[in-house]
Each structure stands twice: as C-alpha cells, then as structure tokens.
C-alpha cells in the first residue's frame, strides 16, 4: 500500500491511496484542471481512480468532487448529510454515481478497506477515514475541533497518520482574523491546534506507527516548524522525523 497528498490546507485538499490495482482519492478541493495536473505530478490520471471518498462538504474538501466524478465517471462515497449539505449549497450531483457512507460501517473498494469514523466539526455529517489493505493502516484526521474517545480508538495501531495541525494558539490569537473566525477555528467544532494534535498522538496505540505527517496547516496561523516541533515533543522524537504536507506540493508517495 502507498499514499500521496496532492495538496493540503484551507485552499484545497486531496490525497490518493493505492493498494494492488485500486486507487482511491480522499477529498478533492481542487478544480478539475488543477486535479489533473496534480495527479500527473504523482504519475496518475483521473481514470486510474476507482472512487472518491469525501469527508465533508466544506469547499476545500469537496469543491472538485462532482466535477471530477462527472467528467471521468468516477463513483463517489459520502455520508447522507454531506450529500444533503452539498445539494443545499447548490452543488449538482447529476450524472454522478453516489454511494452513501454509513459512518458506523466499514466498506471495501477493490483492494482497499475503508473505515469511516465520526468527528466533531461544523459540517452536516462529517467523517474521517482509516484506509487499509489488510496488512497496513493509514489513518487520516483533519477538520476536527477536538479529540474524542472514538477518534483515539479509530486511529490506534495505524502504520501511518496524516494529522491536522491547523494552528498555533498564540499565532491565531495574535493574528489578523476577526474575533468570530478565531472563535470558530478554536471552538470544539473547529480545527485542531498543534498541541492538541500532539496530545491525540501521544494517547494512541503507536506500536505500528512509522509515518507521521502534519497536515492542513494554516498559512496564516501556523508554521511547519511549530507543527513539527509540537508533534516531535509529543512523540519524543527528532522533529526531522515528522513530515509536513504543504498546500502546493502535498507530500510525495509513501510506501507502507
Ligand atoms: Zn478543511
Ligand atoms: Zn472543514
């Protein structure tokens, strides 16, 4: 199994996981053209994708999903709440093959097993996912305001984790955002700060953990150094061991 990010942050997110002949895209917050060029950079074309699985309706995760799915006939998995919220927001799922995700139930697409888990975030029915090929597990957690027992249980015993480090609390507090937006980001249905991400990491069963990638960093309220430092402190490891996904590049293929 291997995985790569096509970009990560508030301007767009997409990740691809591959096991055997199956490739799944996790979220698509980029235009079709942008997605095509980012996939090409990873050596892929849209026709290589067996499906797109979606975490929630926010534009940085979902804006490109239906256009890409429609253009290339790619099936889409999302919760009913996410679908309803996208439709209410004016998105058209016409000519897209939609499969509804039950947030309590794992499902398979080809060689990949997909385990959804619920998260507290200000969306209609948000989930995050663990992807596995039966031997290795990749856990992805972004867009959650805080941790829960359910999140910790879902992400334990992963071989790789892509973990949101959205903001540094001091930079957010002293930064340019209006008070209402600061409150939304820091709220229990907002985003994870570096320290909370570290706490989540240190509470997990990490017996199999070999890759940690900090993701969804705010370009205004965080720096790669701060995110890396917070996770390294939580793991008591060298900061260089922690990778950081960027908005422009994401991160290159990692093999489990
Ligand atoms: Zn997001
Ligand atoms: Zn979100």
- Residues 69-104 as b/e (b if ≥16 CB within 10 A, e otherwise) read bbebebebbbbebbbebbeeeebebeebebeebeee
Please tell me the predicted confidence (pLDDT) of residue 198: 97
Closest ligand to Cα 9:
1
For residue 123, how far is its CA from the centre of ligand 2 (angstroms)? 7
- Write out the residues surrounding ion ligand 2, Cβ under 5 A: 58, 143
Half-sphere exposure (Cβ direction) of 219: Cα atoms closer than 13 Å: 9
Return the H-helix or E-strand segment holding 255. strand 251-255
What is the SS3 assignment for 34-53?
HHHHHHHHCCCCHHHCCEEE
Rounded CA gap, 48 and 199, in Å? 37
Partners of 76 in the β-ladder: 52, 98
pLDDT tens by residue, the chain, 256 residues = 999 999 999 999 999 999 999 999 999 999 999 999 999 999 999 999 999 999 999 999 999 999 999 999 999 999 999 999 999 999 999 999 999 999 999 999 999 999 999 999 999 999 999 999 999 999 999 999 999 999 999 999 999 999 999 999 999 999 999 999 999 999 999 999 999 999 999 999 999 999 999 999 999 999 999 999 999 999 999 999 999 999 999 999 999 9
Partners of 113 in the β-ladder: 108, 132
For residue 241, how far is its CA from the centre of ligand 1 (angstroms)? 24
For residue 8, how far is its CA from the centre of ligand 1 (angstroms)? 8
Please tell me the predicted confidence (pLDDT) of residue 188: 95
Which of 118, 104, 110, 129 lies closest to 53 in space, CA to CA?
Answer: 129
Please tell me the predicted confidence (pLDDT) of residue 74: 98
Rounded CA gap, 219 and 160, in Å? 24
CB 56 within 8 A of CB 28: no
For residue 79, how far is its CA from the centre of ligand 2 (angstroms)? 14
For residue 95, how far is its CA from the centre of ligand 2 (angstroms)? 25
CB 11 within 8 A of CB 220: no
For residue 142, how far is its CA from the centre of ligand 1 (angstroms)? 7
Which of 174, 122, 117 lies closest to 145 in space, CA to CA?
Answer: 122
For residue 58, how far is its CA from the centre of ligand 1 (angstroms)? 6
Record the tokens describing residue 171, joined without a space: 């930079």
For residue 190, how far is its CA from the centre of ligand 1 (angstroms)? 10
For residue 225, how far is its CA from the centre of ligand 2 (angstroms)? 23
For residue 68, how far is its CA from the centre of ligand 1 (angstroms)? 19
């Amino acid at each position: 199994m291997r995985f790569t990010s096509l970009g990560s942050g508030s301007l767009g997110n997409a990740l691809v996981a591959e096991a055997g002949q199956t490739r799944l895209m996790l979220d698509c917050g980029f235009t079709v053209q942008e997605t095509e060029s980012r996939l090409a950079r990873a050596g892929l074309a849209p026709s290589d994708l067996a499906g797109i699985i979606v975490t929630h309706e926010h534009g940085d995760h979902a804006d490109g999903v239906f256009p890409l799915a429609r253009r290339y006939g790619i099936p889409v998995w999302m919760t009913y709440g996410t679908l309803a919220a996208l439709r209410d927001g004016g998105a058209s799922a016409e000519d897209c093959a939609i499969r509804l995700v039950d947030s309590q139930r794992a499902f398979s697409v080809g060689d990949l097993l997909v385990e959804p888990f619920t998260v507290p975030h200000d969306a209609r029915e948000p989930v995050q996912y663990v992807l596995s090929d039966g031997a290795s597990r990749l856990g992805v957690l972004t867009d959650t305001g805080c941790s829960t027992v359910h999140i910790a249980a879902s992400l334990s015993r992963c071989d790789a984790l892509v973990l949101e480090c959205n903001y540094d609390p001091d930079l957010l507090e002293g930064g340019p955002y209006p008070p209402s937006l600061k409150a939304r980001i820091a709220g229990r249905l907002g985003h994870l700060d570096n320290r909370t991400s570290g706490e989540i990491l240190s509470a997990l069963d990490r017996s199999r953990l070999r890759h940690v990638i900090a993701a969804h960093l705010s370009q205004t309220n965080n720096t790669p150094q701060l995110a890396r430092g917070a996770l390294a402190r939580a793991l008591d490891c060298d900061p260089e061991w922690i990778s950081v996904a960027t908005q422009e590049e994401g991160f290159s293929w990692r093999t489990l």
